[in-house]
Structure 1
Amino acid sequence: MTITKPKAKPTQAADSFISGAPDSDPQTKGVRKGNKRQISLTITPALLNRVDELAGELGQSRAAIINMAIYRAVEHGLIKE
């Protein structure tokens, strides 16, 4: 049995160098579509019908209504009833 040296752990300088690479950004989930990301969303049929009705009333797309709802929730919080 041979004795081997343990491998050296990367130094902070090496980590800094690697994280500075242009392709070092962590991958985000979703397919890139222009400056947006496409995601998968599961929603009940009843709620989807209500979203579609609202979209029709406002003359917007389903995606626009969902985006607006998410934006409002993130910016203004959720109202507890």
Structure 2
Amino acid sequence: MAIQRKPASVGAKSEAAAAAFVDGAPDARKPAASEAVGTYEKGVAKGNKRQISLTIAPELLRKVDELAKRSGQARAAIINLALYRLVERDDVFDRK
């Protein structure tokens, strides 16, 4: 086994880039002044998220689980993504 050198430390520029990447994640955003932390009390606080209970039809749950397995994601991640996309499509339930 060869002796290897200690890797060079990460520069400030790389650390800033990593911090910017992490801060850009949807679940890492800082709440706006109007969304003060802890003001939304529904569900159980779990870090910067809220845990809720969800009732779902067995066939839909099976499809969600299959999609999660194919994509290598957790069931919760699939449900979060689907809800996020639905909420972002502001016009879904508009009746015209």
What TM bracket, shorter-length normalisation?
0.5 to 0.7
Unaligned stretches of 5+ in structure 2? 1-37
- Deviation at residue 79 of structure 1 after TM alignment: 5.4
1:30 to 43, 66, 83: 43
Q: Which has the larger radius of gyration?
A: 1
Specify the alignment match of 1:14 in structure 2.
none
SS in 1 for 2:64: helix
Specify the alignment match of 2:70 in structure 1.
57
Change over 3 Å in CA distance of 1:26–1:35 after alignment to 2 = closer
* Alignment RMSD (CA, Å): 2.0
**1:40 aligns to 2:53 (yes or no):** yes
1: distance between equivalents of 2:82 and 2:92?
12
2: distance between equivalents of 1:49 and 1:61?
13
1: distance between equivalents of 2:42 and 2:89?
25
- Deviation at residue 78 of structure 1 after TM alignment: 6.6
The aligned amino acid for 1:70 is: L
- Deviation at residue 26 of structure 1 after TM alignment: 5.3
The aligned amino acid for 1:67 is: N
> Matched residue pairs, number?
56
- Deviation at residue 69 of structure 1 after TM alignment: 0.2
Specify the alignment match of 1:67 in structure 2.
80
2: distance between equivalents of 1:72 and 1:57?
19
- Deviation at residue 59 of structure 1 after TM alignment: 0.4
SS in 2 for 1:37: strand
TM-score (norm 2): 0.52
SS in 2 for 1:43: coil
Specify the alignment match of 2:12 in structure 1.
none
